[in-house]
Each structure stands twice: as C-alpha cells, then as structure tokens.
Amino acid sequence: MTLRQTVGLVGAGAVSRSPVARLLPGALGPVMADSYRLASRLVSSLRAGYPVRDWDELRRSRTILIVAPDSTVPELVRRIAAAPVEWSRRVFLLCDSAQTSAVLTPLAARGAFTGSSAALPGFEPACFLVEGDREALRAARRLIGNPTQAIEVRREAKTRLLAAYAIAGSLFIPLAAVVQSCVRAAGLRGEPANTLVERVFTRALRTFLKSGRQCWTGPRPAPDAAEVARLLAVLQEIDPKLAGFFRGSIVNALELFDRDASGLGLPRQL
C-alpha cells in the first residue's frame, strides 16, 4: 500500500503484533517512543519507518497513530498534548484499543482531529471498527485501503460492539465446555463428539437468528421443574461444577427474558 503522505507512530509495547502493523510497510515515517532506543527497536521489529527523538519531528506526518497498551494511553496522550508542538489539524488515530477517541480529548483541545480504530477478531483480511472526526475517518480509510475492511461507527457504538465480542467469547466457551462434557460422558470422543457439539450450537444459532428471543421457551415452572431437576442430577453426576453452571445460567436466563423462576426452586443468581 502506498500513501501520498507517510504516517507517524507513537508506540509502546508489542506494536509489531498489532493488526495495524500489517498496514505500515511503505506507509510509516517517523516513530516516537519513550526513548530513542525503544523507537529504534520498534522500527526494527516493524521493518518500516525511522526513529525520532523529539515530538516536533512527528509533524512531518499529517496522520499520527498511537499504538500502546490501554492502561498507558491516558498518560501518553497527556504527554503528547503537553509537548510544545503545534498539533492543529494533525490527525491522531488511537489503534487497537477498546477506548474511544474520547480519551484523545486533550489533543482535540490542541486543535487536532481525533479518532480510534480496533480490529474485529476472526476476520481475514482484518476488519476494523473506526470512529471519530470526519478527517480522522478519512485518514483511517486511507490507511486501511480496502473500504470493505473499515466499518464506521458512532463513538459509543464501538465500545458496545467490542463488548458483544467479549461477552460472546466469555460466556460461549464455558457453555460449549458443559455441552462437550455431557457428550464425552456419553462415551463419544474425537470427531464424532466435535461434530455433534458443532451441530447443537449451529442449530441453536440459526434458530435464534431467524426468530430472535421468542425462540427461547426455557423451562416453565409447572411442567418443567422435574425436567430441570433431572438435568441437574445428570450434570451433578458428571461434575458438580457443571450442575452449578447450569443452575445459575437457567435462573439468569429466565430473569433476562422476564420469566418466573420461583417455581423451579433454584436460588437467585447475580
């Protein structure tokens, strides 16, 4: 990819493992870090750009990327904004961060355009959520190159979409582990077991995408209390922790869908 202007980089941490690193060869210019030595290391690991010592040297680029661990971003932004440099009409893009361009407010106060981007997991080639000022969105599109790889969202939408990914992973994996444990306890192993687990979840997902929440009937206290007790007994026999997970999940699901869980005789969960 070739840009009319090179982009600058303020980096910290494992920048070379960042999804945005793939976009930098041929586009990267000045690189700034906590020290000239660290900047040189970043240049070496990225095989692009050149190290600089002073903030003023970043002004050679109209667009400046910030790639750093989230915990260090506020202080890093404060330092950039406090530098005796004219940042007016420069574009700052915070990359690979769950934070939004709101964290770049000190730079916006100095006249800079601000935005942020984050790669969505599971896409190849990479797909990026981008938000921010119009000029920042334009710079992000130029950097990414392929318009189909850039999804423009409102500032608050970025955090919500990233939350969706995080929740899907954090809740789905334990659920898949419970289902897999039941399948293995039935004596299935290897590919047959994996195929069965995959089909169970594929069918459930397709049903949900077609019908939404209404497809979930859940246990009804009157006729289904015995069924829930039976399932809990099966899981308790396999592993008490599986029974605990199922018990909590059922109660929380009933509350999520405004169903009455009192008749099931299960303790209330958080």
Percent pLDDT > 90 in the chain is 43
Write down the pLDDT at residue 101.
Answer: 93
CA separation, residue 86 to residues 10, 105, 107, 140 (Å) = 16, 15, 10, 22
Asked if pLDDT for residue 125 goes beyond 70, the answer is: yes
pLDDT band for position 232 (cuts 50, 70, 90): confident
Name 216's Cβ contacts closer than 8 Å, sequence gap at least 6.
Answer: 208, 253, 257
Supply the angle between the helices 221-238 and 155-185 in degrees, to the nearest 10. 70
Neighbours of 11 (CB within 10 A): 27
Half-sphere exposure (Cβ direction) of 120: Cα atoms closer than 13 Å: 22
pLDDT band for position 8 (cuts 50, 70, 90): very high
Encoded tokens for 262? 């009192």
Write down the pLDDT at residue 2.
Answer: 40
Asked if pLDDT for residue 267 goes beyond 90, the answer is: no
Reported residue count of the chain is: 270
Write down the pLDDT at residue 166.
Answer: 81
The single-letter DSSP state of residue 14 is S
> pLDDT digit string (tens) for 46-93?
888 899 999 999 998 999 999 999 999 999 999 999 999 999 999 999
Encoded tokens for 260? 């009455």
* Strand ranges, E, within 62-141: 63-67, 91-95, 113-120, 127-132
216 touches 253 (CB < 8 A)? yes
Between 101 and 225, the more confident residue is 101
Furthest C-alpha separation in the chain: 73
Name 139's Cβ contacts closer than 8 Å, sequence gap at least 6.
Answer: 7, 62, 63, 91, 93, 113, 115
Spatial distance between the Cα atoms of 66 and 96, rounded to a whole number of angstroms = 9
Name 100's Cβ contacts closer than 8 Å, sequence gap at least 6.
Answer: 116, 131, 155, 156, 158, 159
> pTM of the full predicted structure?
0.76
State the average pLDDT over residues 3-29.
81
Spatial distance between the Cα atoms of 52 and 75, rounded to a whole number of angstroms = 20
Write down the pLDDT at residue 221.
Answer: 45
State the average pLDDT over residues 108-122.
91
**AA letter at 199:** R
Write down the pLDDT at residue 52.
Answer: 95
Beta bridge partners of 129: 118, 151
Write down the pLDDT at residue 1.
Answer: 37
Asked if pLDDT for residue 36 goes beyond 90, the answer is: yes
Beta strands 127-132 and 63-67, pairing class: unpaired
Domain covering 7-153 in this structure, CATH number? 3.40.50.720
pLDDT band for position 265 (cuts 50, 70, 90): low
Encoded tokens for 92? 């700052």
Nearest to 42, CA basis, from 80, 79, 14? 14
Every domain of the chain and the residues it spans? 7-153, 162-257
pLDDT band for position 268 (cuts 50, 70, 90): low
**Run of H or E residues at 168:** helix 155-185
Which residue's entry shows tokens 């969202």? Answer: 153
Write down the pLDDT at residue 69.
Answer: 92
Write down the pLDDT at residue 220.
Answer: 54
pLDDT band for position 135 (cuts 50, 70, 90): very high
State the average pLDDT over residues 149-177.
84
State the average pLDDT over residues 186-197.
92
